[in-house]
């Protein structure tokens, strides 16, 4: 029997990150599509007991859960330098760059294979958008992947092309996309939840970590411009260190209450906030797939997004595209006029109900083209090909 060891990166958290949600959805379908004669086991860093319980609850058919003695930060440090190996033997699939990579003999031992996932190329293309520590770790792990990984999964062709400008993976690159979150569906208590959250009747929503990559600073700046619609902005997610949303709003001259941060939400509340939005803003300066965007499209929410190549690839014609730069002659992630173009795009979608309805229909259709089962089957095929 062949064993696939899946590294459950951030899966057990009460409010998992984008990578944690991706790892959970993929793992669930890897288990559901396990070929005959194979099995799936999980590998998780040392975590609170509540996180182990959540993993076992969310992945009830997992054959076994290996619990490391090291926590995530410790594992990230030792794996960056090639120390420690995983328990057991067999194939390893990492839904992120968080993986043990070292020299191994796959030729004489074909069952010992390591596949990792790079969700974006920001650390190589625009490292200035990341903290120095985060950019350094990602670059280091990408270089280890170039040396030791048997294959590297990327979510879009755009990310594959970006990585290839810096590192040569040859034919080891495989594009396997994500899909909408299966748990984001408003329930029968949606109205009560909306009232408890005191959601406005109409608003712009942004979902995701608020950092230098997200474009939230540019979005807030856009809302202060005359061309912008006079709607409040609702933010779901936490701000990275050094970023204060209230300070950004004050600096832009926005009145109190125009920008509202809800922090992290559980899936039931997130589904309500996202589904009731007038428009979803995805102004990312760099992206890899756009999971919050595909979730909004699935729920029939009109989307305004940047022309980052990965977002354009995923959305097709289902979103309203805003150029990050007026020309391609600059190396900057976005030019000074980006907020102005964002403001005009938001106004267009908010004021034109017929156009917004077209975007809703296109979005639902586009999101339907992505499925986690398809992603899992492609992942199993990748390991079989190796």
Q: What is the structure's pLDDT at 1?
A: 62
| pLDDT digits (tens), the chain, 386 positions | 689 999 998 888 877 788 889 999 999 999 999 999 999 999 999 999 999 999 999 999 999 999 999 999 999 889 988 877 787 778 999 999 999 998 877 776 767 899 999 999 999 999 999 999 999 999 999 999 999 999 999 999 999 999 999 999 999 999 999 999 999 999 999 999 999 999 999 999 999 999 999 999 999 999 999 999 999 999 999 988 888 999 999 999 999 999 999 999 999 999 999 999 999 999 999 999 999 999 999 999 999 999 999 999 999 999 999 999 987 656 778 899 999 999 999 999 999 999 999 999 999 999 999 999 999 999 999 999 98
What is the token pair recorded at 50? 């509540």
Instruction: Read off the pLDDT of residues 252-267 as tens digits, 9 standing for 90 and up.
Output: 999 999 999 999 999 9
Can you tell me the distance from the alpha carbon of 228 to that of 243, in angstroms, rounded to the nearest whole number?
23
DSSP letter at 200 equals: -
- Chain-centre distance for alpha carbon 318: 19
| Helical ranges in 88-232 per DSSP H | 122-125, 132-148, 157-164, 190-196, 216-223
Dihedral sign computed on CA atoms, order 360, 362, 365, 369:
negative
CATH superfamily of 190-367: Glycogen Phosphorylase B; (3.40.50.2000)
Cβ–Cβ under 8 Å, residues 367 and 180 = yes
CATH of 2-179+371-385, one of 3.30.390.30, 3.10.20.90, 3.40.50.460, 3.40.50.2000: 3.40.50.2000
Give the containing element (helix H, strand E) for 66: strand 64-67
Q: CA-CA distance, 197 to 163, in Å (whole number)?
A: 41
| Half-sphere exposure of residue 11: CA atoms within 13 angstroms, side-chain side | 29
Closest by Cα among 32, 34, 30, 28 to 11: 28
Question: pTM for the whole thing?
Answer: 0.94
Domain with CATH 3.40.50.2000 in the chain: 2-179+371-385, 190-367
pLDDT tens digits, one per residue of 287-327:
999 999 999 999 999 999 999 999 999 999 999 999 999 87
| Pairing outcome for strands 279-282 and 151-154 | unpaired
Residue 175: C-alpha distances to residues 116, 121, 148, 253, 258 (Å): 12, 14, 19, 43, 40
Comparing CA positions, the residue from 244, 284, 278, 285 lying closest to residue 261 is: 244
User: Which contiguous run of DSSP H or E holds residue 280?
Assistant: strand 279-282
Coil, strand or helix: which one is 203?
coil
């Amino acid at each position: 029997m062949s064993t696939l060891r899946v590294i459950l990166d951030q899966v057990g958290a009460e409010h998992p990150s984008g990578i944690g949600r991706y790892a959970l959805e993929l793992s669930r379908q890897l288990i559901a599509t396990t070929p005959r004669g194979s099995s799936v086991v999980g590998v998780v860093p040392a975590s609170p007991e509540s996180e182990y319980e959540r993993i076992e609850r969310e992945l009830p058919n997992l054959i076994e859960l290996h619990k490391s003695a090291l926590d995530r930060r410790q594992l990230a440090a030792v794996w960056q330098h090639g120390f420690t190996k995983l328990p057991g033997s067999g194939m390893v699939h990492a839904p992120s760059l968080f993986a043990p990579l070292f020299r191994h003999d796959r030729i004489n031992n074909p069952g010992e294979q390591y596949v990792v996932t790079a969700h974006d190329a920001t650390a190589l293309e625009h490292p200035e958008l990341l903290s120095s520590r985060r950019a350094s770790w990602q670059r280091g792990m990408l270089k280890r992947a170039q040396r030791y990984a048997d294959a590297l999964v990327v979510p879009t062709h755009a990310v594959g092309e970006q990585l290839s400008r810096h590192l040569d993976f040859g034919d080891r690159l495989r594009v396997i996309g994500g899909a909408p979150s299966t748990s984001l569906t408003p329930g029968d208590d949606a109205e009560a939840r909306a009232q408890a959250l005191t959601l406005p009747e109409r608003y712009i929503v942004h979902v995701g970590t608020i950092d230098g990559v997200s474009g939230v600073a540019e979005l807030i700046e856009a809302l202060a411009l005359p061309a912008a619609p006079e709607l409040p902005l609702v933010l779901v997610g936490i701000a990275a260190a050094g970023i204060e949303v209230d300070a950004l709003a004050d600096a832009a001259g926005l009145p109190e209450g125009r920008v509202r941060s809800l922090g992290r939400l559980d899936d039931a509340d997130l589904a309500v906030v996202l589904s009731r939005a007038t428009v979803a803003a995805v102004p990312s300066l760099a992206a890899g797939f756009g999971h919050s965007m595909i979730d909004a499209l699935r729920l029939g929410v009109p989307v305004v997004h940047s022309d980052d190549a990965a977002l354009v690839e995923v959305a097709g014609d289902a979103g309203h595209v805003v150029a990050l730069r007026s020309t391609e002659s600059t190396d900057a992630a976005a030019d000074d006029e980006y907020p102005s173009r964002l403001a005009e795009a938001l106004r267009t979608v908010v004021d034109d109900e017929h156009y917004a309805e077209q975007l809703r229909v296109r979005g639902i259709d586009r999101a339907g083209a992505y499925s986690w089962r398809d992603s899992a089957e492609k992942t199993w095929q990748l390991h079989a090909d190796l």
